């Protein structure tokens, strides 16, 4: 962080807002991959389960963003909420990387 003297609301806008946008971006990309590609290294059930988890995380994220915006960006989000999203994005990155590697062969 560039300025540790930022007021709490400015800190939330500076850190949390871009983080939520990043989650949105990666969930959209992951959902598109899971809905449009056949992933030979995953069973249909595994792919379906991952897609369901991405959709659920998108719903949670949309709710969090609505609350964040409704409070004029004055409220934070608990790490217990953010960490599962982070873990899911990491899992999706691994799936996408494996998919790309499979296409290069």
* Tens digits of residue pLDDT in 30-64: 999 999 999 999 999 999 999 999 999 999 999 99
Residues with Cβ within 8 Å of residue 17, at least 6 apart in sequence: 68, 73
Rg of the Cα atoms in the chain: 16
Give pTM, 2 decimals.
0.87
Residues 85-94 have pLDDT tens digits of: 999 999 999 9
The CB-side HSE value for 27 (13 A sphere, CA atoms) comes to: 22
Q: In the structure encoding, which two tokens stand for residue 82, read together?
A: 């953010």
pLDDT over threshold 50, residue 1 = no
**Alpha carbon distance 74, 47 (integer Å):** 37
| 25, 67 contact by CB (below 8 A) | no
């Amino acid at each position: 962080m560039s300025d540790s003297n930022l007021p709490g609301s400015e800190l939330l806008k500076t850190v949390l807002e871009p983080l939520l946008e990043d989650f949105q971006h990666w969930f959209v990309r992951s959902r598109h991959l899971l809905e449009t590609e056949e992933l030979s290294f995953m069973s249909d059930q595994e792919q379906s389960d991952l897609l369901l988890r991405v959709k659920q995380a998108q719903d949670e994220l949309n709710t969090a963003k609505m609350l964040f915006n409704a409070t004029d960006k004055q409220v934070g989000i608990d790490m217990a909420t953010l960490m599962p999203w982070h873990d899911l994005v990491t899992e999706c990155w691994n799936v996408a990387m494996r998919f790309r590697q499979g296409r290069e062969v």
